[in-house]
Amino acid sequence: SAVISQKPSRDICQRGTSLTIQCQVDSQVTMMFWYRQQPGQSLTLIATANQGSEATYESGFVIDKFPISRPNLTFSTLTVSNMSPEDSSIYLCSVRQGGETQYFGPGTRLLVL
Amino acid sequence: GQQLNQSPQSMFIQEGEDVSMNCTSSSIFNTWLWYKQDPGEGPVLLIALYKAGELTSNGRLTAQFGITRKDSFLNISASIPSDVGIYFCAGHPPTSEGNKLVFGAGTILRVKS
């Protein structure tokens, strides 16, 4: 299975600022995704990170708030822009490998004050 | 959108007991995946199911893809303290949204030693 790392692992940020989260995979993968997990909740898909083109966002998520880059098949970034306390969540990078098997990174724990 | 109903919400069991949890949906899924999430970690894939009726084991874990493609269960035999965590079912719908992994709300497992 793919080995996924995320940086930072956690951060505490002030409202109004932005944070960029990095996701690195140890092998080339076609599909990469970004999820949000709010406290005590399940996982919600933010967007599919497309290599060489704009990300595909789910309903309720917009590019201005969550810009995503995917410059190659092993790396992606998610930026949480103009943060508010409601953005406090775990942000998870995920990749699909071997058909429909999907793996997750360790997550980035974000607290916005 | 498609939803997964996962039950029970939480379980508090004695060490050594067997555990069963399930997910159901009103619509069919192509794939069922079961994950475990420990505190402060990302979800870890336990078992992946790809065909209706498929029964798969991974150590003390056994999972089945329902014949109707609308449900799946996960069994844990002889539970131990390290089984504590949150278990999520997830599935890929067969529609154009097939790239999107839909998650259940999770089952919190607590084990009394």
Tokens 């899924």 correspond to B29
For residue range B18-28, list pLDDT tens digits in order: 999 999 999 99
pLDDT for the residue B79: 93
End-to-end, the C-alpha distance of chain A in Å comes to 36
pLDDT for the residue A1: 80
Per the CB < 8 Å rule, is A42 touching B45? no
pLDDT for the residue A2: 87
pLDDT for the residue A51: 87
DSSP helix/strand/coil, A5: strand
For residue range B27-40, list pLDDT tens digits in order: 999 999 999 999 88
Point out the least confidently predicted range of A60-64, A84-88, A97-101: A97-101
Per the CB < 8 Å rule, is B35 touching A104? yes
Structure tokens at B8: 């029970």
Chain B residues whose CB is inside 8 A of the A103 CB are 45
User: pLDDT-based confidence at B98, cuts 50/70/90?
Assistant: low
Beta bridge partners of B50: none
User: Which residue from B31, B40, B106 is facing A42, i.e. has the nearest CB?
Assistant: B106
Chain B interface includes A14 (CB < 8 A): no
Handedness of CA B90, A63, A28, B37 (dihedral sign): negative
DSSP helix/strand/coil, B82: helix
User: Which residue from B44, B50, B99 is facing A48, i.e. has the nearest CB?
Assistant: B99
**pLDDT for residue B50 is more than 80:** yes
In chain B, the residue whose alpha carbon lies closest to the alpha carbon of A1 is B45
DSSP helix/strand/coil, B52: coil
Which strands, in side-by-side order, build the sheet including B61-65? B5-7, B19-24, B71-76, B61-65, B55-58
pLDDT for the residue A47: 95
For residue range A10-44, list pLDDT tens digits in order: 999 999 999 999 999 999 998 899 999 999 999 99
Q: Is A75 exposed, middle or buried (0-12, 13-18, 19+ CB in 10 A)?
A: middle
d(CA A85, CA A76): 24
Q: What is the mean pLDDT of chain A?
A: 94
Chain B residues whose CB is inside 8 A of the A29 CB are none
User: pLDDT-based confidence at A101, cuts 50/70/90?
Assistant: confident
pLDDT for the residue A52: 84
More confident residue, A54 or A21: A21
Q: Are A32 and A21 in contact (CB under 8 A)?
A: no
pLDDT for the residue B94: 80
Cα radius of gyration (chain B) = 14
pLDDT for the residue B97: 61
Structure tokens at A54: 């704009």
Per the CB < 8 Å rule, is A92 touching B103? no
Residue A55's CB is within 10 A of a number of other CB atoms, namely: 21
